[in-house]
Amino acid sequence: MRSNALTRTVVSLTAVVGLAAGTVAAAGTSFAAPHQATKPAASVQDVSVLAVNNLGLTTTQAGYVQCWLQDFWGYTGAIDGQLGTNSWKAMQRNLKQHWGYNDSIDGIVGKNTISALQRSMKAHQGYDGAIDGIAGPKTKAAFKRFAADSKQYC
C-alpha cells in the first residue's frame, strides 16, 4: 500500500514539474537547448516604407499625380494610382526644391512632407489651413484639387 502511494506521489510530482516546464514529454528536453531568438521578417519601418498613402485620393486621382510626377520629377514607376515610396520620393524632390522640405528623400509621408505639401497647396490649390504637418480634411481637399489639375499630364 505504501509503495502504491509513493508511486502515485512520484508520478504526480513528475506531472506537476512537467506541466510547469511545458509538457510531461517535454519536461526532460525543455532545458536541453537555449531558445533561439528569431528575427522578424520585416520591421515596422520596413512595412511603413512600402505602404501606399494616397492622402484620400482615388486610384484615378493618384494616377494623375503620378503622371505629373513622371513628367516633371523623375518618377519612373507604373501609373497605377498607388502613391507608394517611389511616388513620394518624386514628390519630395519637388517639395525640397520649391516648398521648404528639408528632410531626406525617403518616400515616407511624415510631418515634414505634409508641411511642405501644405505650403505648395496654400500657394496653388486654395489650402487655407495651418502648416502643421497633419493631413487633415483641408489638406486632402487641396490635394484632390491638385490631382484634378494634374489630369492634363496623362
Mean pLDDT on 50-70? 92
Lowest mean pLDDT among 37-41, 126-130, 134-138: 37-41
Locate the domains of the chain by residue range. Answer: 1-28, 53-153
Query: To the nearest 10°, the Cα dihedral for 69, 70, 73, 75?
Result: 100
Residue 55's nearest CA partner among 98, 79, 91 is: 91
What pLDDT, on a 0 to 100 scale, did the predictor assign at position 29? 45
Contact 20, 12 (CB under 8 A): no
Please state the pTM of the whole predicted model. Answer: 0.67
The residue length of the chain stands at 154
Is residue 147 classed as helix, strand or coil in its secondary structure?
helix
Q: Give the whole-number percent of the chain exceeding pLDDT 90.
A: 67
Mean pLDDT on 81-109? 94
